[in-house]
A and B are shown apart, each in its own frame.
Chain A
């Protein structure tokens, strides 16, 4: 357990120090959301209606942007090799890394979402609902991304391939995330139904993601 805690603390530290790239995702999120009103025009009613979808798309793209930092840097400097000689199972080690990654890149998106909701003419309640769905859904994005990161880890500069690999797999999360946000805003569906499915998707991807990523790493090491 000490080993996993040490790994978690190290990854959080690396992300928040200079050059760690923890803040880049939030900046990207801010830019995507800010650009949307320029592209769509000053139609406040329209912006309010599609606001949750824009926030979700922005968060999805921002979380894809930072995925290549998840494992690639540890592969480049040989840390991943040494992790295989550790005594904690690789599944738990990658889970600890993904958790640290979510805490430093996913959680800031959730916190930023209500603020960015103001840009899209969302009232505070609606923004809160979107933030809640992001809180439930962004861990799924990280853990699905973990599979892609493990698959593309031995490729130099595999960041773009990683995004292409992962994006189709995130479609269900996006659908139910936006559905739950819209349900909170306009109905007619009760908020609970899509939100429960979103939580289920997150729990499934945490389990599947860690095992799939560990398997992919073991086979890809060579």
Chain B
């Protein structure tokens, strides 16, 4: 499986964010997108996830499932956590697992991020880091080949960052792909880097 971006152009609010962007991520590879604030890191991830239209260029996932579109094979972990405060931790995860296509969602996701003990607690009582971990549990509960992570380590403590790095390594070892936007290291040893410069 291979994610290819060719001569991508992104225009948001009439301003060209980036143009002529090429990248290439293979199975088992992680691409870290870096650049200053406003360089278009999040826009690129949202573009791959299908939330932002491409103003030019081509995005394709080669050797993926031909029945599914690119966004349907991707997990998007953004700044917003898509959790409902009045639902319990387990209910939140269970809903997203079912909605995103898990056949029989289990508790693996919660255990994997260390939230098994608070499964019955309403999500309103979670701390920022716990909310983040609950969002990450979604990636584990539903198998999808491409992970799009927007600053995945924000709000996470050191132990949780280690857990996330472990999950990412397991995902890559299973032939998955990761595209992450980050300012610092994300805990993976061997990553490609895509540096977004200011648009000419």
Contacts and interface: CB of A to CB of B under 8 A. Distances in A.
Contacts of A9: 95
B35 interface: no
B82 A85 contact: no
A23 to B, nearest CB: 14
A2 B98 contact: yes
Contacts of B85: 19
B161 to A, nearest CB: 22
A7 interface: yes
Interface residues of A, number: 27
Given A85-B76, A86-B100, A87-B72, A222 B52 contact: yes
Contacts of B95: 6-7, 9-10
B99 A7 contact: yes
A85 B81 contact: no
Contacts of B80: 76-78, 81
B126 interface: no
Interface string A179-193: 000000000000000
A79 B82 contact: yes
B68 A87 contact: yes
Interface string B15-40: 00000000000000000000000000
Interface string B47-85: 001111100000000000000100110111011111111
Query: What is the interface of chain B mostly: helix, strand, loop, or mixed?
Result: loop
Contacts of B101: 3, 86-87
A9 B94 CA distance: 11
A78 B99 contact: no
B78 to A, nearest CB: 6
- Taking residues whose C-beta sits less than 8 angstroms from the other chain, chain B's interface range is 20 to 34
A81 B84 contact: no
B118 interface: no
B78 A81 contact: yes
Contact of B72 (A13, A17, A78, A85): A85
B52 A221 contact: yes
Nearest to A219: B53
B162 interface: no
A34 B167 CA distance: 59
Interface in A53-97: 76-79, 81-88
A222 B99 contact: no
B86 interface: yes
A222 B53 contact: yes
B52 A81 contact: no
A98 to B, nearest CB: 16
Contacts of B50: 84-85
Contact of B96 (A76, A82, A221, A222): A82
Interface in B72-131: 72, 74-76, 78-87, 91, 94-96, 98-101
A17 B99 contact: no
Nearest to B50: A84
Nearest to A82: B82
Nearest to B101: A87
B192 interface: no
A78 B153 CA distance: 18
Given A77-B84, A78-B78, A84 B99 contact: no
Interface of B: 12, 46, 49-53, 68, 71-72, 74-76, 78-87, 91, 94-96, 98-101
24 contacts: A3-B98, A5-B98, A14-B84, A19-B86, A77-B80, A77-B82, A78-B78, A78-B79, A78-B80, A79-B82, A79-B84, A81-B46, A81-B80, A83-B99, A84-B51, A85-B49, A85-B71, A85-B72, A85-B100, A86-B72, A86-B100, A87-B68, A221-B52, A222-B51
Given A13-B91, A17-B86, 9 more contacts: A10-B95, A14-B86, A14-B87, A17-B87, A19-B85, A76-B80, A77-B80, A81-B78, A86-B99
